[in-house]
Amino acid sequence: MSTFQAPKGTYDLIPPDSARFLAVREAIAAPLKRSGYGYIETPGFENVELFARGVGESTDIVTKEMYAFETKGGDRLALRPEGTASVLRAALEANLHKAGNLPVKLWYSGSYYRYERPQKGRYRHFSQVGAEAIGAEDPALDAELIVLANDAYRSLGLRNFRILLNSLGDKECRPVYRAALQDFLRGLDLDEDTLRRAEINPLRVLDDKREAVQKQLAGAPLLRDYLCDACKAYHEEVRDLLTAQGVAFEDDGRLVRGLDYYTRTTFEFVHDGLGSQSAVGGGGRYDGLSEMIGGPALPSVGWALGVDRTVLALEAEGVTLELPSTTSVFAVPLGEEARRVLFTKVMELRRAGIAADFAFGGKGLKGAMKNANRSGARFTLVAGERDLAEGVVQLKDMESGEQGPVALDAIVDAVRERLA
């Protein structure tokens, strides 16, 4: 065993479990690729100010959970705690919004970092797939993204998730609600930190998970009662479009999510099989974020879905993903000449698109066949001196146990035919 272990609150992805994570990432990305979203990758760290301005000074993410550090050159950087601010920064820096084709539709996948108390479903390093549609204010775009996430989850076989939906209003109506909420919060028995948060951003308090705080919030005013006519109409259209697509959702007047940049549409995917960490993903509209980080007005909407949480949700529902075998053919050479010949045949199989592996390390027949079994291969190719003299190899079906000779120059076709 190594002297070193993975840092607290992190995990290593290793086979065979890693295959499930890859399958989840691919399933989430598939509907995005079919819908005009291009792939983007950003650095694992950014300027601290990008997150302080974008995510919000009063959020737990910025005040308590961000991994911030100073470089040798004196730059203040942070490991990225979320993806949206980085993607928008990259899009602005590359002037993607000036190419004339709005919205700019992007998707991404990667690791994110938050210093949290580790527990099942909540890690300090976690994996997400996200999507952002930048530069258009259109309820159909909000609906599209929710439908795409819903389709991705259903394609994986998930059924027991719920979509929570709310509107956070805009710069016209939210200040009125903010003032009403602050008046309400000032009358409660809250600790100093929470009261301070209520003065900076009172919506953050609605997101407080502590039971003592939630009990006091029972009579808090709801944002939906303060929405202006434009925000009401926008929200109704999002709801109508989702209903027309057969996507079930629940209205949740208290849903605010943990980031300051959201406006209007906000939503969350929750799974009741995950206990207290029930959110598997979520997102919303962030029409003012571009201006917050020094860009032009670019109304935008996006989401991020947790890969780790999605895997846990699949486990909670007992869903087993059908994963392609990592190896279809395993070659077992007996003798030096057979090693050279079968190594070449393995390369031919791979180039023909067939997953193939080889008995490396010079093991005998018994040890090599054990490796073939462990690999999950459907067929083995076995060859010794006598086989090669006859210009054949023995092809064995690992399921039925049947074995027979196949001509050396016909191996690829023979394997392809049997796999089909």
pLDDT of residue 348: 96
**More confident call, 205 vs 401:** 401
Q: Tell how far CA 104 is from the center of its chain.
A: 20
* CA 68, 73, 74, 76 torsion-angle sign: negative
Q: What is the pLDDT of residues 352-369, one digit of tens each?
A: 999 999 999 877 889 989
Angstrom distances, CA of residue 99 to CA of 12, 37, 126, 389: 40, 15, 33, 65
Cα distance between residue 139 and residue 264, in whole Å: 10
pLDDT of residue 21: 94
Burial 399-408 (b: 16+ CB within 10 A, else e): eeeeeeebeb
pLDDT of residue 57: 62
pLDDT of residue 230: 95
Is the per-residue pLDDT at 334 higher than 80?
yes
Tell which residue, 215, 156, 135, 203, has the closest CA to residue 175.
203
Q: What is the pLDDT of residues 242-279, one digit of tens each?
A: 999 999 999 998 887 656 678 899 999 999 888 767 89
Poorest-confidence range of 56-70, 85-99, 238-252, 401-415?
56-70
Query: What's the rounded mean pLDDT across residues 378-405?
Result: 94
pLDDT of residue 258: 59
Joined tokens for residue 289 = 């974020």
Q: Is there a contact between 38 and 155 (Cβ–Cβ < 8 Å)?
A: no
**More confident call, 271 vs 193:** 271
pTM of the model: 0.89
Joined tokens for residue 254 = 């208290």
Cα distance between residue 130 and residue 87, in whole Å: 10
Is the per-residue pLDDT at 60 higher than 80?
no
Is the per-residue pLDDT at 398 higher than 70?
yes
Poorest-confidence range of 77-81, 109-113, 185-189?
185-189
pLDDT of residue 278: 86
pLDDT of residue 341: 95
Is the per-residue pLDDT at 394 higher than 80?
yes
Poorest-confidence range of 19-33, 197-211, 403-417?
197-211
Is the per-residue pLDDT at 58 higher than 60?
no
Is the per-residue pLDDT at 157 higher than 60?
yes
Query: Which amino acid belongs to residue 102?
Result: L
Q: What is the pLDDT of residues 41-54, one digit of tens each?
A: 999 999 999 988 87
Beta strand 263-271 with 279-285 is antiparallel
Structural domains of the chain in order of their starting residue, each with its CATH number: 17-173+227-317 (3.30.930.10), 329-419 (3.40.50.800)
DSSP alpha helices (H): ranges in 324-419? 336-351, 365-375, 385-389, 411-419
Is the per-residue pLDDT at 213 higher than 90?
no
Joined tokens for residue 235 = 């929200």
Q: Tell how far CA 93 is from the center of its chain.
A: 24
E strand or H helix that includes residue 47 = strand 45-47
Beta strand 45-47 with 76-79 is antiparallel
Cα distance between residue 87 and residue 363, in whole Å: 50
Query: What's the rounded mean pLDDT across residues 50-67?
Result: 75
Q: Which residues contact 250 (CB under 8 A, 6 or more apart)?
A: 162, 163, 164, 165
**Per DSSP, which regions of 217-299 are E strands?**
250-251, 263-271, 279-285
Is the per-residue pLDDT at 2 higher than 80?
no
